[in-house]
Copies of this chain bind each other. A is one copy, B any other.
Amino acid sequence: MIRKGHHGLRPGQTMHLSITTRLRWHCEEPTDSLLQIEVAATSGQRLLANAFEGTPAGHVTRVPAQDGIGERIWLHQEGDCTVTYAAEVEVLGRSVALETLAALPPHRLPGEAVPYLMDSRYCPANRFSPFVDEEFAAFEGGAKVAAMRDWIAAHYRYVPGVSDASTTAIDSFVERRGVCRDYAHTLICFARAAAIPARFASGYGADVTPQDFHAVAEVWLANPEGVGGWHLVDATGMADTASFAQIAVGRDAADTSFLTSFGQADLRELAIEVREVASLNHVR
């Protein structure tokens, strides 16, 4: 990981990302595979182009993904399966200083945020309550989340390959290392343990080195006008809102895998390229 400086786009500025993904896997038998690799159309990012192609041409269905953000794509195929995806995305730079945001008391949270207070597969947040109560007691709201992010950045080492599909935030906290998913899981646990809703977002990041799918946490906080919403926080320091094109959200990585096969599947190739085409400057 090479940490590059953040873009610090001014509000109103956008970044143009060009993304290509190539995924190849093999299924001995006809198998249902679930893909989550397409950039979602949301208020924070605009899709200029989006091309999804799979061979052999098999059965393809789409359903809405979690929280209505993006779609889940099912393929029913056999043998060698190749998927290529290309997108042009305009991401709106709307970085907000975390410290200016406030936490809502739980009883004022909207129904959609409440499930993100609960423990999930990789985020057994309750276990972290004593630590969080003690370590971050001096902070409130966005400043508390910023302190959590900084604690992780200071105490974790980014080590590709150390985590796998069974690694929880507890494992990462004990070993104090991981990749983006582990940083996000830890931050999610910390936030939930402080009664701040937190979810997991997968996506593409312009500054992710080596290039790969990226993952960040999102926390539900209210802006100075009292309006609640999800705010991206990346404890790895790799992404900010200006450089992160969101694919999907979920409780944690269990909800947002780029490829989930129901049957034997053997991943043979994963190639991702994310280029920053230009930072445009116009008012929305």
Contact = CB atoms under 8 A, between A and B. Distances in A.
Interface residues of A, number: 50
A195 B32 contact: yes
Interface in A259-284: 260, 262
Interface string A61-84: 101111000001011100000000
A118 B260 CA distance: 10
Contacts of A66: 115
Interface in A94-141: 105-111, 114-115, 117-121, 124, 126-128, 130-131, 134
State the number of copies, please: 4
A263 to B, nearest CB: 8
B32 A127 contact: no
A114 B174 CA distance: 24
A174 B170 contact: yes
Given A121-B118, A195-B32, A255-B118, A111 B64 contact: yes
Interface of A: 32, 34, 59, 61, 63-66, 72, 74-76, 105-111, 114-115, 117-121, 124, 126-128, 130-131, 134, 157, 165-166, 170-171, 173-177, 195, 250-251, 254-255, 260, 262
Question: Sorted from nearest, which 5 A-B pairs have the closest CB atoms?
Answer: A63-B111, A74-B107, A32-B106, A195-B262, A119-B121
